[in-house]
Structure 1
Amino acid sequence: MKEFDKVNMIYGVIATIGVALFGKYWFLFFGFLVLNAVDYITGYCKAKFYKKNESSAIGAKGILKKVWYWIVIGMAFFVSMSFVHMGEIIGINLSFVQLFGWFTLATYLINEVRSILENLVEMNVRVPAFLIAGLDVTQKLLDTKTEIKESEE
């Protein structure tokens, strides 16, 4: 029973920190962080054990790329929040720009899952075709939504 209490306490601490930093949808950001780690690990395993081309420079480049993803997500949320507040100041409803951050996060989530699946396929792991197709459809829907928003402006 003590182990269960420890796990509960750890989860509580993570959830509290997550909510404090990222709001009530913290689990989406945490999920993205987990996907970053899984993508890095699967990429490393693919390079080391299957492609035999493990390189610390390529690994560092991959980590840097993931850091830039986080910066872009942060910028998208900052810009959307800034425009909403500026809209309130000048009396224009700009609440629709809140979608910038969410669309950015959704796009990167799909990108990470796709990358993980590509790594697994290259390691001869059978990945259900419907999963790959479903991610493709989801990305196209997101792209269509952003194109609609751009054309309305």
Structure 2
Amino acid sequence: MSDENNDQDQQALADEWAAALEEQVGGAGGTEAISDDGARSVDLDELKDESVVVGDPKLDVILDVPVRMTMEVGGTEIPIRNLLQLNQGSVIELDRVAGEPLDVKINGTLIAHGEVVVVNDRYGIRLTDVISPQERIRRLK
């Protein structure tokens, strides 16, 4: 019985996320809309498909390999002396301005930028800019 309730809770959560994402896109079946911040939503048909073909037998081997995804709000460098003086309530200034996009990294490699969203008291991230595979390879060199 608890598995059934858990499945229903998971489905309800998935439905809420889907509704929130649909609401952000405009919900009108892909019609173009311009938001207050100047972002333009477009039909998916207008986007160029640069994705990797999932059915490629060479890639099937690695598709289930887990990777570490992190969202970086910002960073700073402080001397160990200051680090040892930190306690509850301490404030650390980061190198990012409020409202600046977060870095989305996979195994330490920048793959996208995004912004924090909250749906049903859970944090998520909306990708605002995805680094192309060619650019990611160029940055590795």
TM-score scaled by structure 1? 0.26
Provide the TM-score with structure 2 as the length reference: 0.28
Bigger fraction of residues in strand: 2
